[in-house]
Amino acid sequence: MVTITFHGHACFTLEADGRRVIIDPFLTGNPAADIPVDRLPKVDAVLLSHGHGDHLGDAIPIAKRDGATVVATFELAAFCASQGAASHAMHIGGGHRFPFGHVKLVPAFHGGRVEGDTAGQFTTSPCGLVVTIGGKSVYHCGDTALTLEMQLLSGRVDTMLVPIGDNYTMGIEDAVRAVEFVRPRTVIPMHYNTFDVIRADPGQFKRQVGDRAQVVVLAPGQTHTFS
Ligand code: NI
Ligand code: MN
C-alpha cells in the first residue's frame, strides 16, 4: 500500500511500510500549501527535482530537523551539504537503493539555477525522479518540457505526477502526450494554479487524457492510496 499526499504545487509525500519521503518541499511561501513545515510529519528523506525556489523550498530545514537525507543531483546535493544538510548525490540515469525504496533520476528539460547559490557554483541539470516504494513506482516529472526520453519509461510507471500549468513546464496538451509516452496506470496533475501565470483546468486535463489512464485530481492536503 502506497499513500501519496499532495501538499500543493509540486510537493508530495510518499508513504509505504512505515517510511515517508517528501518530494520538492516548497511549503513556506507556497500559496497553495496545505500545511506549514512545523506540522509536516517526520520524513526519512527529501527528494529534489531541481534547485528552483519552488522546489528546493524547505528542503534544508526539513532535512536538518528530521535527520533526513537530501537526495538530488551531485551539484544540488553539494549545495545542500554546504548548508549543513545530510545529502546523497546521484545523477541522471543512476539509481540507488535507500532504506525507504529505490530512486532513479531521469532527464528533465528545464533550468538549473539553485536558489540561494549566490556565486552560481552549484548550477545543475534538473531531473525527474522515479521512486520505487512499497513495490510501486511513482514518476515525479519535475519541471520539464515534453521529452522523447519519457518513452523510455513506457509501461514501467504505476503513478505519474505530471506538470500541467504551462509557461514554465508542459501545459495540458503536452502533458497528455507525456501520459501517452509513459502509459502509467494513474496520473496526478501538479504545478498548476499556484500562481496566476500557471492557471490550468485539471478537469480539462482529465477529459483529454480520457481512458488512457486514471486521472486523480488532488487538492492540497488530499491523499491517493493504491496497492
Ligand atoms: Ni523550476
Ligand atoms: Mn517550478
**Per-residue pLDDT, 198:** 98
Phi, psi of 3 (to 5 degrees): -115, 125
Confidence of residue 182 (pLDDT cuts 50, 70, 90): very high
Using alpha carbons only, what angle is made at residue 166 by residues 164 and 170, rounded to the nearest 5 degrees?
Answer: 60
Confidence of residue 71 (pLDDT cuts 50, 70, 90): very high
The H-or-E segment that residue 177 falls in is helix 172-182
The proportion of the chain whose per-residue pLDDT surpasses 70, expressed as a percent, equals 100
Cβ atoms 184, 160 nearer than 8 A: yes
CA distance 140 to 136: 13
The stretch 71-97 carries a mean pLDDT of 98
Query: What's the CA-to-centroid distance between 144 and ligand 2, angstroms?
Result: 9
The stretch 140-161 carries a mean pLDDT of 98
User: Residue holding cell 501538479?
Assistant: 190
With DSSP H G I counted as helix, E B as strand and the rest as coil, what are the percentages for the chain, rounded to 5? Answer: 25, 30, 45
**Per-residue pLDDT, 179:** 98
Ligand nearest to the CA of 191: 2
Query: What's the CA-to-centroid distance between 49 and ligand 2, angstroms?
Result: 9
Domains parsed from the chain with CATH numbers: 2-213 (3.60.15.10)
Query: What's the CA-to-centroid distance between 213 and ligand 1, angstroms?
Result: 26
Query: What's the CA-to-centroid distance between 191 and ligand 2, angstroms?
Result: 7
Distance of CA 16 to the CA centre of its chain: 17
Query: What's the CA-to-centroid distance between 82 and ligand 1, angstroms?
Result: 21
Query: What's the CA-to-centroid distance between 7 and ligand 2, angstroms?
Result: 14
Mean pLDDT, rounded, of the chain: 98
**Per-residue pLDDT, 11:** 98
How do beta strands 69-73 and 87-90 pair?
parallel
